[in-house]
Amino acid sequence: MKAIRKFTVRAVLPEPLAALEELAGNLRWSWHEPTRELFAHIAPEIWREVGHDPIALLGEVEPARLSELAADGGYVDWVSHQRDELRAYLEQPRWYQSLDGTAPGTIAYFSPEFGIAAALPQYSGGLGILAGDHLKSASDLGVPLVGVGLFYRAGYFSQAISPDGWQLESYPVLDPDGLPLAILRRPDGSPVQVTLALPDDRTLHARVWQAAVGRVRLLLLDTDIPDNGDELRLVTDRLYGGGGEHRLLQELLLGVGGVRAVKAWAELAGASEPEVFHTNEGHAGFLGLERIADLIGDGLSFAEALEVVRAGTVFTTHTPVAAGIDRFEASLVERYFSADLLPGVAAADVLALGAETSADGAGVFNMAYMGLRLGRHANGVSKLHGEVSRAMFRDLWPGFDVEEVPITSITNGVHAPTWTDSALRSLARAQLGGSDTTAADWNSAQLGDDELWSVRNDMRRQLVLDARERTTKAWQKQNPGGIAPGWMGEILDPAVLTIGFARRVPTYKRLTLMLHDQERLRGLLLHPTRPVQIVIAGKSHPADDEGKRLIQQLVRFAAEPEVRERIVFLPDYDIAMAQLLYPGTDVWLNNPLRPLEACGTSGMKAALNGVLNLSILDGWWSEYFDGENGWAIPSADSAGDAAERDKLEAESLYDLIEHQIVPRFYERDHDGLPVRWLQSIRHTLATLSPELSADRMVREYVQRMYRPAGDAEALLSANHYEAARALAAWKARVVAAWPGVSVAHVESGGVTAVPQVGDELHLRAHVNLGSLVPDDVAVEVVYGRSHNGDDLREVEIRELEPSAEAAASEGKPVLFTGTVELARAGGFGYTVRVVPKNALLAGSAEMGLIAVAS
Ligand SMILES: *Cc1c(COP(=O)(O)O)cnc(C)c1O
């Protein structure tokens, strides 16, 4: 990356337009249509060329044009009106300010990537865009969040496709001065620097960029500064670039350096230090260790500090794919934590947090395991993914039923103002009143079918024109000076049923499933009266040749002269493309191998625009498909092998398109309107938009994670960590005593010879407590329906009471008694178990200790 260093000279704005600088400096413009219109008005052509980027626009526009606008009273008023509107947005109370009771004063949200706008390319895909949407909705709701990430000099890569269909990567170097970023400085103007002590007496330095995302601050750490030697400058060179040590350095910087940066920021901004820390996937997990080190500095032991940190940490897991989890060599992690990085923290304690439980996990440091051990509030990102995660990580809570594994789920959402096309928003405003498409009554008769269809047609046409332009430009880039073949200006048809498919290209997403039977696909594409067209995009990880081969297969198929006007692959999938692509399709296709798609968000963005989903019942679709909002591709999970499964699922895909989707799309009334299709669109918009919005998601995080985490952290920290110390001491005592805990035997009575509904089952459990006392444990009867096999269903748990003589029975089994009513007919089963009990625990599974009657 020793290429030419470029820099950006910012325009000097005429005085009357000075407020444009303030507006350009807050990324709210990326989702606030009136502010975008204000910038577009300056020079619509340039606005388009620079990809809707206000800072780039101001750098390109002729000074004469700015002078002209400065003399235009109407424009100057418009600018100051928008500036006032922004200030009001930043200051006025919003949803969070109306909450009753305690709520955290500051929440730090850590993520390795943030996708906020095309103009700030610091993301690779879904995880980053979700993080961007999280910040935007937090801003809209007034949630006091601060984002923490890294500033990558080259972001993710830019994709081109070679003439033979192979993905080519390039890494355009970003100039932060041309981006909506400012260095975090002290009042005397000196930049804040974060430092990390590394092995061999090296030190990693980072400066901190800040971006304003509406009301939310985003801090991005950057190592490309002269204080670092050449090698360390490259730590933040690119997103997910290297493996091993490079990646570990990035994650140490994000976690450990991120906490240091956020504290410096809080002090300078007059904000409270974060009480709650949320780590978006495991990459930022080291943040917990930095906080532990801090608390050890305050006089706590490692175990006591761990309790405080766990109480205030939220961990979101995003992947059911093992390859998606960061794993390092334990020896490498040990080397870094044996240096002076975190004084007071022993490397052995760190290694224990990342240790894998399985035999083949020896020597491996697993970031997801550490995330779960450092955060007592954990979740997956859809209901199904919650289930899958509980099964995937159940080894951390051995002995418990999979349902009891303390990982819940909060289904992802997408930021509606970012992802709803402005044409649809205008329609909602004009016809339904109100600007919020997620709350509009899409079934209202106020909105005519013809108007809705006309907007859908406009959005499709917009995509077709964009696809033609992109295809032509990509060709010209590879053939400088040449004239692009005429057919490139004719690809796709604005009236044809359009299917979209865009995503990263890991194998499980099955980019090429649609190519399974090429003859059948050709038949669909080339149908004389009711054709289908397909628009595809996606990047493969640079190190993933298998993904690149899939892209190549697709590109080669799409290059066949017969079909090339009906199926196109658009290079360089990014936010800007996505914003036209989703609204422009009629059907959004998703065909992962179930259950490997944790949630999937592109289909949500499509649905917000009235697009119908055609998807495997995976991720969000398995909980929201209702028979009217699209189509479910049946999963052939039980097929003998992968090839058989692909075949069956591909055939279902073709069948659905041919027999259900095509006929419904082309079925028109005498006005040419696809009435049934429009019903599905209305139904989709009315029922899914509120559910799929990131506002719903962020509210859930606030209520179900951030507030409980804030409360737990406050409880354990009060009186100089009194409760944390007590909890750590109690846990140590219980862990030591647990080998002596067992259920000696259980007697039952009360049920008649032929048990009937209404009978009461009386239980007497004799329990060995070793050195524990009855108050340290809960003895529980776990009961439910029993079918064939061992598992109980519809499980309920009731605690048994220690009998009066319990206290006196030292050394002997203690009697616990209780009653269960047989409320339902059918198979009944129960078991008795002992678990630790303490009001300061998050739940009975927290410690992973259990003793079950044999
Ligand atoms: C939404 C989005 C994604 C993620 O989509 P998935 O359906 O989760 O794969 C990836 N890239 C871009 C540009 C997006 O906008």
Q: pLDDT per residue over 446-488, tens digit each?
A: 999 999 999 999 999 999 999 999 999 999 998 999 999 999 9
**What number is the average pLDDT over the span 530-548?**
95
| Full DSSP string of 728-796 | HHHHHHHHHHGGG-EEEEEEEE---SS--TT-EEEEEEEEE-TT--GGGEEEEEEEEEE-SSS-EEEEE
Which residue lies with its CA nearest to atom 11 of ligand 1?
A: 125
The pTM score is: 0.96
User: What is the structure's pLDDT at 7?
Assistant: 61
Cα–Cα distance for residue pair 707/102, rounded to 1 Å: 7
**pLDDT confidence of 348, banded at 50, 70, 90?**
very high
Cα–Cα distance for residue pair 658/519, rounded to 1 Å: 13
H helix and E strand count, the chain:
29, 29
Mean pLDDT of the chain: 94
Which residue lies with its CA nearest to atom 1 of ligand 1?
A: 602
**pLDDT confidence of 793, banded at 50, 70, 90?**
confident
User: What is the structure's pLDDT at 27?
Assistant: 98
Atom of ligand 1 nearest to the CA of 503: 9
Residues 120-157 as b/e (b if ≥16 CB within 10 A, e otherwise) read bbbbbbbbbbbbbbbbbbbbbbbbbbbbbbbbbbbbbb
First to last CA, the chain: 64
Backbone angles phi, psi at 762, to 5 degrees: -95, 130
Which residue lies with its CA nearest to atom 9 of ligand 1?
A: 503
Tell me the three state secondary structure of residue 350.
helix
**pLDDT confidence of 789, banded at 50, 70, 90?**
low
Tell me the three state secondary structure of residue 148.
strand
| Strand positions, DSSP E, 591-689 | 612-616, 630-633
Pocket of ligand 1 (CB under 6 A): 125-126, 129, 503, 573-575, 578, 600-602, 605
Peptide bond into 802 cis (omega under 30): no
Q: Are 194 and 205 in contact (CB under 8 A)?
A: yes
- CATH class in words for 105-412+700-718: alpha beta
> Ligand 1 mean position to 15 CA, how many Å?
41
Atom of ligand 1 nearest to the CA of 574: 13
- Which CATH number fits the domain 454-668, given the four candidates 3.40.50.2000, 3.90.1150.60, 3.40.50.300, 3.40.50.720? 3.40.50.2000
Least reliable range by pLDDT among 107-121, 217-231, 808-822: 808-822
- Write down the domain spans for the chain: 15-91, 105-412+700-718, 454-668, 741-852
Atom of ligand 1 nearest to the CA of 590: 7
User: What is the structure's pLDDT at 806?
Assistant: 58
Percent of the chain with pLDDT over 90: 87
User: What is the structure's pLDDT at 637?
Assistant: 83
**pLDDT confidence of 790, banded at 50, 70, 90?**
low
Q: How is residue 849 written in tokens?
A: 């200790």
For a ligand 1 pocket test, name from 601, 604, 615, 618 the mutation site with the most ligand atoms within 8 angstroms of its C-beta. Answer: 601
User: What is the structure's pLDDT at 371?
Assistant: 97
**Would you give the DSSP letter of residue 509?**
G
CB atoms within 10 A of CB 589: 25
Q: Are 681 and 545 in contact (CB under 8 A)?
A: no
CB atoms within 10 A of CB 253: 25
Residue 597 pLDDT > 70: yes
Q: Nearest to residue 662, comparing CAs of 604, 591, 610, 614?
A: 614
Tens of pLDDT, residue by residue over 285-306, are: 999 999 999 999 999 999 999 9
Cα–Cα distance for residue pair 716/712, rounded to 1 Å: 6
Cα–Cα distance for residue pair 19/17, rounded to 1 Å: 5
Q: Is the dihedral of CA 627, 631, 637, 640 positive or negative?
A: positive
Provide the pairing of β-strand 587-590 with 612-616: parallel
Tens of pLDDT, residue by residue over 367-388, are: 999 999 999 999 999 999 999 9
User: What is the structure's pLDDT at 6?
Assistant: 59
**What number is the average pLDDT over the span 667-679?**
97
Cα–Cα distance for residue pair 214/35, rounded to 1 Å: 12
Tens of pLDDT, residue by residue over 387-439, are: 999 999 999 999 898 999 999 999 999 999 999 999 999 999 999 887 788 98
- Which CATH number fits the domain 741-852, given the four candidates 2.60.40, 3.30.200, 3.40.50, 1.10.150? 2.60.40
The one-letter amino acid code at 640 reads G
Tens of pLDDT, residue by residue over 14-53, are: 999 999 999 999 999 999 999 999 999 999 999 999 999 9
Residue 631's Cβ-side half-sphere holds a number of Cα atoms within 13 Å equal to 23
Q: Is the dihedral of CA 833, 834, 836, 841 positive or negative?
A: positive
> Ligand 1 mean position to 511 CA, how many Å?
14
Cα–Cα distance for residue pair 756/758, rounded to 1 Å: 6
Atom of ligand 1 nearest to the CA of 579: 15
Q: Are 759 and 750 in contact (CB under 8 A)?
A: yes
Tens of pLDDT, residue by residue over 149-201, are: 999 999 889 999 999 999 999 999 999 999 999 999 999 999 999 999 999 99
Cα–Cα distance for residue pair 340/203, rounded to 1 Å: 10
List, as own/partner pairs, every contact residues 524-531 make where C-beta atoms lie below 8 angstroms and the sequence separation is at least 24, other chains included. 524/654, 524/657, 524/658, 524/662, 525/563, 525/566, 525/567, 526/562, 526/563, 526/566, 527/662, 529/666, 530/497, 530/662, 530/663, 530/665, 530/666, 531/493, 531/496, 531/497, 531/566
Tell me the three state secondary structure of residue 64.
helix
> Ligand 1 mean position to 654 CA, how many Å?
24
Q: How is residue 585 written in tokens?
A: 């399709």
> Ligand 1 mean position to 741 CA, how many Å?
50
Atom of ligand 1 nearest to the CA of 575: 13
Fold match, 454-668 / 741-852: no
Q: Nearest to residue 303, comparing CAs of 836, 727, 772?
A: 727
Residue 809 pLDDT > 80: no
Q: How is residue 502 written in tokens?
A: 């865009």
**What number is the average pLDDT over the span 582-598?**
96
**What number is the average pLDDT over the span 96-113?**
97
Mention every residue, 6+ apart, whose C-beta is less than 8 A from residue 373: 310, 353, 396
Q: Where are the alpha helices (DSSP H) in 312-346?
A: 330-338
> Ligand 1 mean position to 600 CA, how many Å?
7
Atom of ligand 1 nearest to the CA of 600: 8
Atom of ligand 1 nearest to the CA of 124: 11
Which residue lies with its CA nearest to atom 4 of ligand 1?
A: 126
**pLDDT confidence of 1, banded at 50, 70, 90?**
very low
**Would you give the DSSP letter of residue 390?**
H
For a ligand 1 pocket test, name from 129, 158, 536 the mutation site with the most ligand atoms within 8 angstroms of its C-beta. Answer: 129
**pLDDT confidence of 2, banded at 50, 70, 90?**
very low
